[in-house]
Amino acid sequence: MIRALITTPRAIFAGLLAIVAAAFAFAATERSGDPASAVADVEQKLGTADAVLRRHTYELKDAGTPKPADKSRALYRLSGPKGELLFVEGPSDPNIPEVERIVRELYEKKNKQYVAHDSAWTEIQSAWSGLTWGNRQIAEAKGLLKFDSKPTGTSSYDWDNRFRSSKGQWRIQEAVAFQAQRAMYTLGGAVGTFIAALLVLAVFGWLWGATLARIRELANAVRGK
């Protein structure tokens, strides 16, 4: 009876569903962590955050100050709010209107230094862009510890909880373990879907056959009368 219910067309249809399920399981499998080498690379980049902040720092300089030896830095000559000549050292590829705004702020607040936190944060964020969500949260918190004021692109929650979040444990999952996990889910999805589809089709076929047989019986009974 089972062989009669599991026909070739039904097996083919179940096989197609199994292939779709396997593809979905393959694509949907998510990493539970990152390779230790990726985490170590992020930690190394986080160690250079102070240098990144330095690159995004603007400083008022005296006339005659030599050009910076660091090629990522440049010396600019700008006119102050009252027409006076100001010398500012900053990033070598700045947004000039932004530089002028910063110079005005330095002048008005009588500060000697300004850190462009937003642009620095944008650069630092790229260090952990490839990590899984949980590890990105930890890396972001560790990165925020380097800032003395909240970058615009971060939420107040992340900023307020940066000390606690930065103490989280990295989630490590090597590539081999992830591929084994993905293969298991893919195989399980394919086999499970194939068996379930065959059972459903077989039961449906049996019910349909029984229904047709009952209809024929009723029709014969009516004709017999």
List the structure tokens of 166: 């930065």
AA identity, residue 39: V
Compute the distance between CA of residue 114 and CA of residue 119 in angstroms, rounded to an integer. Answer: 12
Compute the distance between CA of residue 85 and CA of residue 62 in angstroms, rounded to an integer. Answer: 10
Averaged pLDDT for residues 101-110? 74
Q: Which pLDDT band holds residue 1 (cuts at 50, 70, 90)?
A: very low
Residue 224's pLDDT is: 61
Cβ atoms within 10 Å, residue 222: 8
Summarize pLDDT for 159-187 with one digit per residue, the tens. 999 999 999 999 998 888 878 888 888 88
Report the predicted TM-score, pTM, of the whole model to 2 decimal places.
Answer: 0.69
Summarize pLDDT for 119-132 with one digit per residue, the tens. 889 889 999 988 99
Compute the distance between CA of residue 165 and CA of residue 145 in angstroms, rounded to an integer. Answer: 10
Residue 181's pLDDT is: 84
Greater pLDDT, 61 or 208 = 61
Summarize pLDDT for 66-75 with one digit per residue, the tens. 888 788 788 8
